[in-house]
Amino acid sequence: MQRKSSFFLSSLFLSLSFSFSSSVGAQDYDPSRVIVKLAPEVEISEVTTLKSTRLLDEYYVIQTSDAAGLVKQLSSNPNVEKVSLNYKRSVGFAPQDPSKRFFKSLVSDPFFNDVRATKLWAFDDKEENGIDVNKYYAYLAAHPEIKKSPVLVAVVDTGADLTHPDLQGKFWVNKKEVAGNGIDDDKNGYVDDVNGINTLQRNPQNEATGNVTLDPGPCTFLDCSASHGTHVSGTIAAVQNNKIGVAGISSEAKLISIKTVPTDGDETDIDVAESYAYAAKMGARVINCSFGKAVNEGGNMVNEMITTIAKKYNVLVVIAAGNSNQNIDTTLTYPASYPNPYTVVVGASTSGGSRASFSNYGIKNVDIFAPGQGIVSSVKGGYQSFDGTSMAAPHVAGVAAEILSVFPKLNVKELKDVLLKSAVLVPSYEPLSVSGGLLNVMEAYNYAAKNYPNKR
């Protein structure tokens, strides 16, 4: 099972300071839950009578009072393919010097009427090192015959402000669930999951709740879990042309809010894998993951779950590369460094056309670069500018959603092909990433139209 040692939450205000021991101590895993992958066609009742939860297909979570003892017991069971502790580690944060905040000159000719549209430098054309968002929507306006359909994007993060005025109507609603009645109406294993789930809050049966409501009151990144996930959500899907705030990249994205990453970065494999499984079963085609850890204690559960949901549900997972200014081909970080064909790993670029100084890189493990410095988006109580590969990843997720809205029949490998093959080549990025280039939505549309015309 995958376990990494320090999830990064990339932001203008935060840089990560990793501190961990290579040994696994008592505090490094959840003593109440064990991850099990059963052999094919085996029922969980053949393995244990302890209470269990089925995540997806052959994956189960078993509740126990002695996780280490249960792992030892099940490791010799022929009906068990894999068994692992549910590792976790905490992470420390340090505020970034406010004098180092990055600001971009105003966008001269924005397509949108949102009041902060002039600050969205990433929406500029590629000559300005943006990704052609304004140009793309101008093209769509001139071609009303292009039909689009909604696309579900799961934001696996610290939560999101569902009441933010710039995100109204953008959150997915589970129409099979009756809000607040305390019943699992759609029989999917979650009670009242109207907009998503919260794997950090569990009911007495140890089931993730559907309570994604956030605490009242405004907050900043440092003291409110809502800010990071809300910022990511706004970049993907903030309401366009509503004369307030910012505009999201995708007009068609609907967001499944999944709270899995606590502000101290101490989430576990089970919570991450459960988030992926839930998002896929609820219909997400893209999952945004603006988090990561620096150590894998030997497991592969999260990587296997990514492969499973891609093959079974056609889901692309977009992953932030990390903010340690290191080559993640040699200094690995997870899930970004997994050799998985169903992920797109994203480094951060600046408006000046260079790799952001904090951004990780790697010609094998980083797929593409996208705007990640001086990114203005929604936070609880307003809007702020953040830096980080956390901000770069949702640019890719937003473009992926837009391409799927026009070409919904693309499979996950074809979608990844569109994103990478259409990247605008940048000489300095060639030794730093697979594509050697910068994300571009207009080029992605043109590439898909030329190479996958029958996928509309």
Predicted confidence (pLDDT) per residue in 20-60, tens digit: 222 344 447 888 899 899 998 899 999 999 999 888 878 89
CB atoms within 10 A of CB 262: 19
- What is the reported pLDDT for 306? 96
Q: Are 89 and 8 in contact (CB under 8 A)?
A: no
Res 227 pLDDT > 90: no
- 420-455 burial: b if 16+ Cβ within 10 Å, else e: bebbbebeebeebbbbbbbbbbbbbbebbbeebeeb
In the predicted model, what is the mean pLDDT of the chain? 86
The residue among 48, 8, 53 whose CA lies nearest residue 324 is: 8
- What is the reported pLDDT for 7? 38
Domains and CATH numbers, the chain: 26-87 (3.30.70), 102-455 (3.40.50.200)
- Per the model's pLDDT, the better-predicted residue between 6 and 438 turns out to be 438
CB atoms within 10 A of CB 7: 27
Q: Which pTM does this prediction carry?
A: 0.90
The active-site residue out of 124, 157, 271, 387 is 157
In this prediction, residues 401-419 reach a mean pLDDT of 98
Name the pLDDT band for 18 (thresholds 50, 70, 90).
Answer: very low
Name the pLDDT band for 226 (thresholds 50, 70, 90).
Answer: low
In this prediction, residues 318-343 reach a mean pLDDT of 94
- What is the reported pLDDT for 214? 64
Q: Cα–Cα distance between 285 and 263 in angstroms, integer?
A: 26
In this prediction, residues 79-103 reach a mean pLDDT of 59
Res 137 pLDDT > 90: yes
Active site annotation includes 395: no
Least confident of 294-303, 306-315, 335-344, 373-382: 294-303
Q: Are 333 and 294 in contact (CB under 8 A)?
A: yes
The active-site residue out of 84, 390, 433, 435 is 390
- Per the model's pLDDT, the better-predicted residue between 192 and 13 turns out to be 192
**For 454, what's the count of Cα atoms within 13 Å in the CB-facing half-sphere?**
0
Highest mean pLDDT among 26-30, 100-104, 150-154, 199-203: 150-154
Least confident of 11-20, 117-126, 175-184, 346-355: 11-20
Amino acid making up residue 247: A
- Per the model's pLDDT, the better-predicted residue between 19 and 95 turns out to be 95
Active site annotation includes 390: yes
Res 102 pLDDT > 90: no
In this prediction, residues 327-339 reach a mean pLDDT of 92
- Per the model's pLDDT, the better-predicted residue between 103 and 386 turns out to be 386
- What is the reported pLDDT for 172? 97
Res 76 pLDDT > 80: yes
The residue among 436, 416, 417, 415 whose CA lies nearest residue 427 is: 436
The active-site residue out of 11, 52, 114, 228 is 228
The residue among 258, 148, 270, 151 whose CA lies nearest residue 206 is: 270
The tokens for 240 are: 């366009």
Res 94 pLDDT > 80: no
- What is the reported pLDDT for 6? 35
Tens digit of each residue's pLDDT (9 = 90 or more) over 157-205: 988 999 999 999 999 999 999 998 999 899 998 999 999 999 999 888 8
- What is the reported pLDDT for 292? 85
- What is the reported pLDDT for 205? 83
Least confident of 11-15, 27-31, 175-179, 360-364: 11-15
Tens digit of each residue's pLDDT (9 = 90 or more) over 294-318: 777 557 889 999 999 999 999 999 9
Amino acid making up residue 143: H
C-alpha distances out from residue 209 to 91, 174, 259, Å: 25, 14, 10
**For 177, what's the count of Cα atoms within 13 Å in the CB-facing half-sphere?**
23
DSSP states along 262-278: -TT----HHHHHHHHHH
Res 391 pLDDT > 50: yes
The residue among 368, 348, 376 whose CA lies nearest residue 104 is: 376
Helix (H) or strand (E) holding 29: strand 29-38
- What is the reported pLDDT for 89? 56
DSSP states along 205-266: T-PEES--PPPSS---GGG-THHHHHHHHHHHHPPSSSSSS---S-SSEEEEEEE---TT--
Res 350 pLDDT > 70: yes
Q: Cα–Cα distance between 107 and 138 in angstroms, integer?
A: 15
Dihedrals φ, ψ of 36, to 5°? -130, 135
Q: Cα–Cα distance between 428 and 84 in angstroms, integer?
A: 41
Res 96 pLDDT > 60: no
